[in-house]
Structure 1
Amino acid sequence: MPIWIDPTGREWVLNAPGREFFTMNAVSGYGITPVNLITRPDPRGGVTVIGVRSQQRTLVWPVRVRGRTHMEFQTRWRQVAAAFALTRRQGPGLFRLRRPDGTAREILAYYQSGWDGEPGQGHTYDTPTLTLLCPDGFWRDSQPIPLERSTGESGDFLDPFPNISSGDVIGATQMFNPGEVEAWPTWRLDGPATQLVATNNTLGRTFTVNQTLSAGEWITITTRPGRVADSSGAAINGALARPGSTLWRLEPGVNDIDFTVAGAGPETRISMSFYPRYETA
């Protein structure tokens, strides 16, 4: 079942009960993520592929809008059109595909074109063909996978998670990414704390964030795009240690992770979440 979630969070089922609004059988754009092959001439002939870069995705989704009267049709037409047009001012919406077993994958999307009206239609029905631009060509799960641990707490993520000294929280765990491609986690550090050092041993990459936090204060670290922000959402320039820090990804499969929170206290909490990403819907 296709669903459009507009930038305000309202859901529009594109196969609604009653058949007033439903998807036609001419959908395209939900297969393997498009790529750009970077090449250079080979002196022996042909080319050598020196890189592969994933590209944006374009979804083409024809829908039928109906009404029992012209005004009923016109009202529905305008409402749904506005739900897609919101992306021009308020950022991307979510295009979600829910399967019969209850699982779902989704992709961030902007309305690009297609809500124009077809010749000979427009009285009690019309068949616009939506074109949606998806900046990230990969699909993702509709729910993120979380990790969380606080000072003095013992237990598992997927493996035992040890801690503790008087001023540090020291973590070592294995994080499993069930997706088909890399995932980009978002971290949150709740104070008290003075520093976070996070290492992905699978990749051999580390980042360090220096920020003094009191109890009740927190920061978020978004790895894509790279950004450190305070609890109000304002960017904290200079918090990420440079040079030497790489806001790392999670590879598909098992990732060995270590992190240390310096200056910790009883209320210190560290959490991470990510959306697994996939080639197809």
Structure 2
Amino acid sequence: MALENSSPLVSFRRGEQVFSLGTRDEDVLHLHGSQGLGLPPVDIQLVDRIGADGAKENGVRYKEREIFIPLLIHKRTLAECTAVRRELYSFLDPHEGPVEIVIEDPATGTVRRISGRYKGGLEGDFDSGFHGAWQTLGLKFVCPDPWWLGEQKLISLSVAPGTKPFISSSRSFFPVVLSQSTVQDRFTVEIAGAGEVAPTWQVTGPGEDLMISNGEEVFRVNHQLRADETLIIDTAKRRLIPDVWEKVPLSSRLFPLKPGANHLHITMTGATHETRITLVYAERFLEAI
């Protein structure tokens, strides 16, 4: 049985800048031989058994991962090849911070991204991989967070005309369709992947006494928002913008979204058709392809 000839599409992103690697006819190509796109390295902590054989397992965790991306620069002249290499020097400069490595898999249609800092591959060794107008390189990256992120998704809630319950609509910053079920102010978010998701909530007034619950945990903010005022609840960094923690009851808990069905309940008094509650999140995966 013949294998599909669909190599993953690889690109590097820093802010609004993108450096893309082609797969067939382009002059900067992603080659076969990538490493680090599956499960991250595993650290199993063992403690010796005193007076007994073997060891006791004390914990298991995923470690930081390294990613290796081989590429080919194939230009018409030595000068053109040098220009691309110098562009990579500048784009991947580790002193400028990490870049986002994006893997698009044509075979499954999935897109995964991870933050990594350049570690090696551009030292300027002109040996067997250098041929003047064309050159092969192998880029190495270190990713402290070993989880891959999926496409960013967004769910927007508003008040149905003539009623108080929220209705929901959903979209994403990429072409992804979300399946939602809404019953008054209750709705379900299906989380794929293997890891818990730390969402960001953005609440625009008018309204007050916001309550967000998953049935077991509840987060409340006893704060009044006027029209066009916005409160951001960043559960990943555990911060509120503006800082209104003094209006959060001690019993409140910031909770993640777990893989599978998350049944959420939101209430807010004084809400009108101008009120908006937006949920933004990205699912977490152990693999890119």
Q: Distance in 1 between matches of 2:224 and 2:131?
A: 60
Q: Distance in 1 between matches of 2:167 and 2:205?
A: 21
Change (3 A) 1:253 1:61: same
Q: What is the TM-score normalised by the length of structure 1?
A: 0.81
Q: Is 1:14 aligned with 2:18?
A: no
CA apart distance, 1:22: 1.5
User: Which residue number in structure 1 is paired with residue 255 of structure 2?
Assistant: 248
CA apart distance, 1:31: 0.9
Q: Is 1:138 aligned with 2:147?
A: yes
Amino acid in structure 2 at the alignment position of 1:194: E
Amino acid in structure 2 at the alignment position of 1:47: A
Q: What is the TM-score normalised by the length of structure 2?
A: 0.79
Q: Within 5 A, what are the aligned runs for 1:194-213?
A: 194-201=208-215, 204-213=216-225
Q: Distance in 2 between matches of 1:193 and 1:131?
A: 50
Helix, strand or coil for the counterpart of 1:127? strand
Q: Distance in 2 between matches of 1:215 and 1:27?
A: 51
User: Which residue number in structure 2 is paired with residue 36 of structure 1?
Assistant: 43
Amino acid in structure 1 at the alignment position of 2:69: W
User: Which residue number in structure 2 is paired with residue 95 of structure 1?
Assistant: 101
User: Which residue number in structure 2 is paired with residue 166 of structure 1?
Assistant: none
Q: Distance in 1 between matches of 2:249 and 2:11?
A: 40
Tell me if the contact between 2:155 and 2:168 (Cα under 8 Å) persists in the aligned partners. no
Helix, strand or coil for the counterpart of 2:32? coil
Q: Is 1:219 aligned with 2:231?
A: yes
User: Which residue number in structure 2 is paired with residue 161 of structure 1?
Assistant: 183
Q: Within 5 A, what are the aligned runs for 1:107-126?
A: 107-120=114-127, 121=130, 123-126=132-135
CA apart distance, 1:74: 1.2
| Most deviating of 218-227 and 122-131 | 122-131
CA apart distance, 1:2: 2.9
Structure 1: tracts of 5 or more residues without a match? 163-170, 231-235
Structural RMSD (CA):
2.6
CA apart distance, 1:28: 0.7
User: Which residue number in structure 2 is paired with residue 174 of structure 1?
Assistant: 188
Change (3 A) 1:11 1:267: same
| Most deviating of 150-159 and 242-251 | 150-159
| Most deviating of 51-60 and 32-41 | 32-41
Q: Distance in 1 between matches of 2:86 and 2:244?
A: 43
Helix, strand or coil for the counterpart of 1:73? helix
User: Which residue number in structure 2 is paired with residue 233 of structure 1?
Assistant: none
Instruction: Give the counterpart of 1:59 among 46, 67, 83.
Output: 67
User: Which residue number in structure 2 is paired with residue 266 of structure 1?
Assistant: 273
CA apart distance, 1:67: 2.4
Q: Distance in 2 between matches of 1:13 and 1:62?
A: 13
Amino acid in structure 2 at the alignment position of 1:212: Q
Amino acid in structure 2 at the alignment position of 1:183: V
Q: Distance in 2 between matches of 1:243 and 1:37?
A: 36
Change (3 A) 1:57 1:208: farther
Q: Distance in 1 between matches of 2:149 and 2:25?
A: 29
Q: Distance in 2 between matches of 1:19 and 1:199?
A: 50
Deviations 1:81-112 (A, max 9, x none): 22222x533x4332111122543222222222
Change (3 A) 1:245 1:266: same
User: Which residue number in structure 2 is paired with residue 192 of structure 1?
Assistant: 206
Q: Distance in 2 between matches of 1:73 and 1:132?
A: 22
Helix, strand or coil for the counterpart of 1:78? helix
Q: Is 1:278 aligned with 2:285?
A: yes
User: Which residue number in structure 2 is paired with residue 165 of structure 1?
Assistant: none
State the identity %.
Answer: 25
Helix, strand or coil for the counterpart of 2:183? coil
Helix, strand or coil for the counterpart of 1:275? strand
Helix, strand or coil for the counterpart of 1:6? strand
Tell me if the contact between 2:160 and 2:167 (Cα under 8 Å) persists in the aligned partners. no
CA apart distance, 1:53: 2.8
Matched residues, number: 263
Helix, strand or coil for the counterpart of 1:30? coil
